[in-house]
Amino acid sequence: VEAGRSSGDTGDDAGTAARVPVLGAAEVHARLAERVHPKARDTYAAFYSSWAGCITTDPAAMVAPFDDHMVHRGHGVFDTAHVCDGRCHLLDRHLARFERSMRAAKLKPPAGQSYASMRAVILATIAASGLRDAQVRYYAGAGPGGFALSHDECVDSTFYVTVVAGRAAPDPNEGVAVVTSDVPIKPPAFATVKSVNYLPNAMVVADARDRGADYGVWMTERGLVGEGPSMNLAIVEDGCFVTPPTDDVLAGCTVRRAMELIARAPDGALAHLGVTDARHEDITVERAKSADEVVLIGSVIWCQPIVRWDGKEVGKGRARGCAGPCALALHEALLADFRDEESELVDVPYA
């Protein structure tokens, strides 16, 4: 093998490398504009970068510095919220979790910003998008400054906001299939932080798809039911809604809201179905598979019934292998809360 070449190199590879152009910023931006794909044009509506200090509606400009430690070291956290008819749902709950994640990751707001100003930037970015039905995602990174491990080299922390067109939740009448995942769950100290380190989460989904299912279910280090790749799991049994403790899984804002809606007296979301209590308890796989109903809950899917687990039907009675009444009722209750619960909605300051 010649010096400077690997055994896998070919003459064509060397020729291709020789033809790679060296361009200036304007030419690079022009190329990026040419490469904007249809999904970006149709979906990505606005983006804020604290590093650039502005909002853009040009998908080609929705970029982050490659030396941001969030990009190459995974030293960053994020959170989300939904916009419905021009109002943001559960924003302050999500922001409270975002702040907890930032503190756990030893991240601070960028220079000159505060948690309050970051909230204002989120709303301003939504307003700039012009969308009245959307999902907003916001990220805090250690920032650019080098390629080492320590964030001591970072020039300043970063904050990014992106607004994408909303999408309809999956039809709960169809239900989903899950498998017990073989992918190891994150240790509790990391599982309870909403970090950008989602390789394990992506592998849970990939493993599930390879096995003919929609999602995988993580087991905790104690061998108990944990969570889905981006959603919480709950069961209904004996008139009670039960979800695992948040000691070793992410504390979901949507499942927390679901528990409040169920326990709200005297007209809880599932009271007409005899379910009036909601609690955190350890759940074994066997308990979950033998429950009256099993569901996944998250801000993208709302409430989706699990109809098959490891290839076998789950649920009892009319919920056996199909969407149960509690899952369907809770899905509708969450959607109604999303649209109408004034105390959980924040107006977006459109021009």
The alpha carbon of 321 is separated from its chain's Cα centroid by a whole number of angstroms, namely 27
Cβ atoms of 251 and 245 closer than 8 Å = no
| Greatest C-alpha distance within the chain | 79
The encoded tokens of residue 99 equal: 């702040």
> CA–CA separation, 138 vs 127, rounded Å?
15
DSSP state for residue 153 in the 8-state scheme = G
Q: Which residue in this structure is represented by tokens 């804002």?
A: 253
Is 46 strand, coil or helix? Answer: strand
The encoded tokens of residue 93 equal: 């709950």
Please identify which of the residues 39, 106, 194, 289 carries the catalytic annotation: 194
Cβ atoms of 98 and 194 closer than 8 Å = yes
In the residue annotation, 39 being an active-site residue is answered as no
> CA–CA separation, 147 vs 144, rounded Å?
9
* DSSP for 50-65, written as a single string: TTTTEEE--GGG----
**Which residue type is seen at 219?**
M
- Using alpha carbons only, give the angle 335, 194, 46 rounded to the nearest 5 degrees: 65
> CA–CA separation, 220 vs 232, rounded Å?
13
DSSP state for residue 290 in the 8-state scheme = T
Active site residues: 194
